[in-house]
Amino acid sequence: MTLIIQRLLLPLLLTLSLNIGAQGPAAPPPPELNVKGYLLIDFYSGRSLAEFNADERLEPASLTKIMTAYTVFRELASGRIKLSDPVMISENAWRTGGSKMFIEVGKQVVLEDLLKGMMIQSGNDASVALAEYVAGKVESFANLMNANAQRLGMTNSHFTNPNGLPDPELYTTARDIARVTRALIREFPQYYTWYSLPEFTYNGITQQNRNPLLKRDPTADGVKTGYTRAAGYCLVGSAKRGDMRLISVVMGAPSPKARAEASLALLNYGFRLYEADKLYPVTQPLVKLRVWAGEREEVAAVPQWDVVATIPRGQYGQLNAYVEKLPNIEAPLTRGDRLGDIVVRLGEEEILRVPLVAFEDLPKGGFWRQAKDSLLRLF
């Protein structure tokens, strides 16, 4: 069932009636970048705004740690581990080469510190310590990483370790890395803010955040650098200006300067040529939907998250939105249960789909209410 959203979208519908069919000028091509692959996406929809070799399998280097962080965050959300947990550091973690947090073998480190040491200082040692604590050994943790990758639709990725040190079976793509980064920001905003911390001190050693975007773009708040000789210089960036958030992925740049400049070029390209409009906030009920066999006949519904449409500048008049309602919604309902989708189109193209969920609990009705609704449904 399709419902046109009229109450909240009335100004937009009026604009449509005046401007439908109007097209803005063709967008200029994205910048030419000296990298192996790149991708720029809109955070809210996941749509690609610019790309090159985005599906080519490449070595991720320390971009791997985005998936490591996401996997640990999911364990935190499950309640199986806590930020305050003390983690005993093994000799295996202590001996891990490359960038370090400088943890010491045989000592306990609070899990939150290990996360920050990995996210801010890119500690390979911290990554291994986290993996061993969560799953017992690195190989078992890699299995969790791959299970999460499969769940997120990262079809061209395979992880063998939590830190990105070279391995012939470790690979991903710019598109897959953007996918896990988007999921991390959406699902765990409380932890994502750590990526913007300028420095972190552990064991008397202060190390600066390795992300150059934080100093060069005041709207940037993440995410992660990476480097090995085979992978080249990599950088996942994210910035938010107004209601628009973009995620850029640069892989295989020839130098640290090149990866920073490529990331800034992509982000500036997106912010210059696109605009974002918050159509419906997550806090405001959007429609009321018919429910069968409930204490009440209707339930208020809200988007699961803010509905923000990112579109080429000057094309607001091409937007249209409607609700696709699930058939035969039945009580009982719990706040947050999915009831359908909000679909946003730009002209004929679907650009955004956001789950529509129950704003409130709705218990099952009594015998007479259920009997009445059973008769009504027959007709």
Instruction: Indicate which residue of 36, 65, 116, 325 is catalytic.
Output: 65
Any bridge partners for residue 378, and if so which? Answer: none
82 is annotated as an active-site residue: no
Compute the half-sphere exposure of residue 119: CA atoms within 13 Å on the CB side of its CA: 27
- C-beta separation of 124 from 227 below 8 A: no
User: At 56, is the secondary structure helix, strand, or coil?
Assistant: coil
d(CA 126, CA 208): 16
215 is annotated as an active-site residue: no
Helix axes 174-187, 64-78, angle to 10 degrees: 30
Under 8 Å CB-to-CB from 257, ≥6 apart: which residues? none
Q: Which of 163, 161, 177 is nearest to 98 (CA)?
A: 163
What are the phi and psi torsion angles at 330 (to 5°)?
A: -120, 145
Instruction: Indicate which residue of 45, 90, 99, 122 is catalytic.
Output: 122
d(CA 107, CA 166): 27
Instruction: Indicate which residue of 62, 99, 157, 238 is catalytic.
Output: 62
Q: How many residues does the chain have?
A: 379
Q: Which of 321, 273, 351 is nearest to 12 (CA)?
A: 321
What are the phi and psi torsion angles at 337 (to 5°)?
A: -65, 140
157 is annotated as an active-site residue: no
224 annotated to a ligand binding site? yes
Q: Which residues sit in the known binding site for substrate?
A: 224
Q: Which residues sit in the known binding site?
A: 224
Please give the positions annotated as active site.
62, 65, 122
